[in-house]
Amino acid sequence: MSAILLKMSWLEPFVKIAQGERPGDQLMVILRSIGVPLIGLVIFLFIWQVGAKNINTSLGTFPGPAAVYEQTVNLFAEHNAEREKEKAFYERQEVRNEKKLAKNPDAEVKIRPYTGAPTFIDQIWTSLGTVMTGFLVASLVAIPLGIMIGLNSTLYTAINPLIQLFKPVSPLAWLPLVTMVVSAVYVTDDPMFAKSFVTSVITVSLCSIWPTLLNTAVGVSSISKDLQNVSQVLRLNWITHVIKIVIPSAIPSIFTGLRLSLGIAWMVLIAAEMLAQNPGLGKFVWDEFQNGSSQSLGRIMVAVIAIGFIGFLLDRLMLMIQRKVSWDKSVALR
């Protein structure tokens, strides 16, 4: 048990105190690991509060920490209220349908979906869905392609300039093109996905594909000569060579790429959602901006913090997976 706790570094001093290991020293460690960031946070909040008071916009003063906290509470309350309304809506339908069936057992019964506006929390989930789809699409292309160009230096030389060319392109530049292409190509009577969703996913994929592609290629091409010799002496065929030697040896750098890609995907998504008018956090920010009430800036600030926090959580998640999968324990993953 304590071994598991010791793996979480910030808990370490607490565990050691519990184990009776020199409490004085451990307290210092706690002070350093928790106290110092706390002091940083307090100073930041103070500067924010003071600075915000002095910025007057057409939508009122810039929101300080207190205003943002208030809006956070509001947004959660709105979310809960909306859920209540939805529940009541479905209950009403059920009651109505039961009455209908009691009168005439053959009557057709319909359940209409609830069409209330999505709340802030709903938008977060939508955004996470979109970013994961885009990230998945990008990874499914980038990893196999990266392995191929990593194995073949001619292919690498051919593709590398293109990668370098497209890597720095901003999502805002891609978006109009993607939008037009999607509206021209994605034409069905019964679309499975909304066009705005497809546009956002493609834009996210286009921007987040590069780190995974490059890191996979580098990982594959830098496989050690010795391991290649082992593979040759064993006369492994091509497929076995790739599966047993190449991919495992590239796993650490593939994951480095995936982590970078997910970070970029999340950053790009907000911009894509804003412009594509795809439901999600980006649209929430845009709508609040257009709405222009005295609360808008506070609500946008809540979104900013939520975006940052979720980005941080996504990165931690990838790090956890990376630590689990990567055999290379010699590199410190942080």
Partner 1 sequence: MVHLDLTDVSIEFPTPKGPYVALDGVNLKIQQGEFISLIGHSGCGKSTVLNIVAGLYQATRGGVVLDGKEVNEPGPERAVVFQNHSLLPWLSVYQNVELAVKQVFKGKKTKAEMREWILHNLNLVHMSHALDKRPDEISGGMKQRVGIARALAMEPTVLLMDEPFGALDALTRAHLQDSLMDIQNDLNNTVIMITHDVDEAVLLSDRIVMMTNGPAATVGEVLDIKLERPRNRIELADDAEYNHYRHEVLSFLYEKQRKPDEASTEKPAQNLHTDSTDPKDPVKKSASNSEAA
CB count within 10 Å of CB 122 equals: 17
Beta strands in 191-306 (DSSP E): none
Using CB atoms within 10 A of its CB, is residue 163 exposed (0-12), middle (13-18) or buried (19+)? middle
In single-letter form, the type of residue at position 128 comes to: L
Is 245 near partner 1 (CB under 8 A)?
yes
| HSE (side-chain half, CA atoms, 13 Å) at 83 | 9
- Our CB check for partner 1 shows the closer of 189 and 226 to be 226
- Our CB check for partner 1 shows the closer of 128 and 236 to be 236
Nearest approach, Cβ of 243 to partner 1 (angstroms)? Answer: 11
Per rule CB under 8 A, count of chain residues that contact partner 1: 20
Site string (311-330) toward partner 1, x via CB under 8 A: ----------------xxxx
- Our CB check for partner 1 shows the closer of 112 and 225 to be 225
Distance (Å) of CA 79 to CA 88, 122, 124: 14, 8, 12
CB count within 10 Å of CB 126 equals: 20
Using CB under 8 A as the binding rule, the residues of this chain from 25 to 84 that contact partner 1 are none
- Our CB check for partner 1 shows the closer of 195 and 244 to be 244
Is 115 near partner 1 (CB under 8 A)?
no
Region near partner 1 per CB under 8 A, out of 57-65, 66-74, 107-115, 239-247: 239-247
Is 293 near partner 1 (CB under 8 A)?
no
Region near partner 1 per CB under 8 A, out of 56-64, 204-212, 243-251, 299-307: 243-251
Give the one residue of 236, 242, 310, 333 binding partner 1; rule: CB under 8 A.
236
Nearest approach, Cβ of 109 to partner 1 (angstroms)? Answer: 57
Nearest approach, Cβ of 171 to partner 1 (angstroms)? Answer: 36
Give the one residue of 73, 230, 305, 317 binding partner 1; rule: CB under 8 A.
230
Distance (Å) of CA 277 to CA 65, 269, 301: 29, 11, 20
CB-CB contact of 24 with 7 (8 Å):
no
- Our CB check for partner 1 shows the closer of 151 and 159 to be 151
Nearest to 123 by CA among 82, 183, 64: 82
Chain-centroid distance of CA 331 in Å reads 24
CB-CB contact of 233 with 274 (8 Å):
no
Across 78-88, b (16+ Cβ under 10 Å) vs e yields ebeebeeeeee
Nearest to 279 by CA among 172, 123, 89, 115: 123
Using CB under 8 A as the binding rule, the residues of this chain from 246 to 265 that contact partner 1 are 248-249, 251
Give the one residue of 244, 277, 315, 333 binding partner 1; rule: CB under 8 A.
244
Is 232 near partner 1 (CB under 8 A)?
yes
Helix (H, G, I), strand (E, B) or coil at 129: helix
Collect all residues with Cβ–Cβ distance below 8 Å to 16 and sequence separation of at least 6: 22, 26
Nearest approach, Cβ of 237 to partner 1 (angstroms)? Answer: 9
Q: Tokens in use for 200?
A: 């956002």
Site string (178-207) toward partner 1, x via CB under 8 A: ------------------------------
Is 130 near partner 1 (CB under 8 A)?
no
Nearest approach, Cβ of 153 to partner 1 (angstroms)? Answer: 17
Q: Which residues bind partner 1 (CB under 8 A)?
A: 224, 226-227, 229-230, 232-236, 240, 244-245, 248-249, 251, 327-330
